[in-house]
Amino acid sequence: MRFDNKVLFVTGGASGIGRATAERVVAEGGRAALVDLDGDRAVAVADEIGDGCIGLAADVADEQQVKAAVQATVEQLGGVDLALAAGGHAEFGPTAEWDAERFMKMLSVHVGGTFYVCKNVLPAMKARGSGSIVTIASTAAFMANNNNVPYGAAKAGISGLTRQLILEALPEIRINCIAPGRTITGMTTPLMLERGGDMEKGEEIFGRAIPMKRMGTADELAAAICFFLSDDASFITGQTLIVDGGETIV
Ligand SMILES: NC(=O)c1ccc[n+]([C@@H]2O[C@H](COP(=O)([O-])OP(=O)(O)OC[C@H]3O[C@@H](n4cnc5c(N)ncnc54)[C@H](O)[C@@H]3O)[C@@H](O)[C@H]2O)c1
């Protein structure tokens, strides 16, 4: 029970990696505030996960909405001990097709959203005297993929933000980053179906470039995130851990 009496604030909590992390934290004794652009789904998932969880609507690209969600979490769950910034979207295409508005939205949601989550949970964690934050980059921060310049730039920004921020937290607050490779979630399911026709064929196609010859699951990512969130990682801060079945090695 690594998360006994701990409260997790998680954006993107209604789906995929965010949801899987909330489920693990609750299974190990904690409670969670699931925050998502889709507030109705966040409430429904919070109800499914169990007692003590709440669902909240917020667009992470809007600092006031993030701030209000943190305040609601403190009021309803008593504080914030753990945070995961996992809310975000994926969009791809050649650079020539990205106008300024579309490009800035990618940066606002991913880099901005991560910044607003960290900035607004830090005071609540400082009030507790300890805490652990995990941000989400991507293998796209470290390797080139076709049609992926804005997303790759945003994800590299998140890894850099994580490193810089540790000096502004208390020594007792750790901040780390997970860089997922290809993972089966709400984000990739439509791409898998489009490329493969069904999920099995889609995974086979996406898995070809991966030494482990398969995609990751949301729960496998949640396991790595929960390592960073927990005291098992008590002397690790500012790091980015790649969880990708070996794709970036080859
Ligand atoms: N799935 C992958 O292969 C993969 C790989 C690398 C990185 N990631 C990253 O992992 C994180 C989680 O994604 P996932 O794979 O679980 O996808 P997902 O689509 O299953 O979950 C993402 C959630 O974020 C929410 N969201 C989107 N925009 C938001 C916004 N502006 N404000 C608040 N919530 C918003 C969505 O509604 C959704 O519920 C994302 O940052 C994503 O970029 C995913």
Could you tell me the distance, in angstroms and rounded to a whole number, from the CA of residue 133 to the centre of ligand 1? 17
Domains of the chain: 7-184+217-249 (3.40.50.720)
What number is the average pLDDT over the span 171-194?
Answer: 97
**For residues 50 and 115, which has the higher predicted lDDT (pLDDT)?**
115
How far is the C-alpha of 217 from the C-alpha of 195, rounded, in Å? 18
In the chain, what is the straight-line distance between the N-terminal and C-terminal CA atoms, in Å? Answer: 37
Residue 201 CB less than 6 A away from ligand 1? no
Residue 187 CB less than 6 A away from ligand 1? yes
Residue 21 CB less than 6 A away from ligand 1? no
Nearest-atom number in ligand 1 for the CA of 183 is 3
**Catalytically active residues, by annotation:** 151
Residue 40 CB less than 6 A away from ligand 1? no
Amino acid at 45: V
Whole-number percent of the chain with pLDDT over 70: 100
Nearest-atom number in ligand 1 for the CA of 139 is 6
Q: How far is CA 190 from CA 60, 61, 111, 194, 197, in A?
A: 23, 24, 24, 6, 10
What number is the average pLDDT over the span 203-222?
Answer: 97
Q: Are 229 and 25 within 8 A, CB to CB? A: yes
Could you tell me the distance, in angstroms and rounded to a whole number, from the CA of residue 139 to the centre of ligand 1? 14
Residue 65 CB less than 6 A away from ligand 1? no
Among 9, 36, 111, the mutation site with the greatest number of ligand 1 atoms within 8 A of its Cβ is 36
User: For position 97, what pLDDT does the model report?
Assistant: 96
Residue 245 CB less than 6 A away from ligand 1? no
* Confidence band of 51 (pLDDT split at 50, 70, 90): confident
Could you tell me the distance, in angstroms and rounded to a whole number, from the CA of residue 26 to the centre of ligand 1? 20
Element (H or E) spanning 16, and its range?
helix 16-27
pTM of the model: 0.98
User: For position 101, what pLDDT does the model report?
Assistant: 98
Nearest-atom number in ligand 1 for the CA of 87 is 24
User: For position 170, what pLDDT does the model report?
Assistant: 87
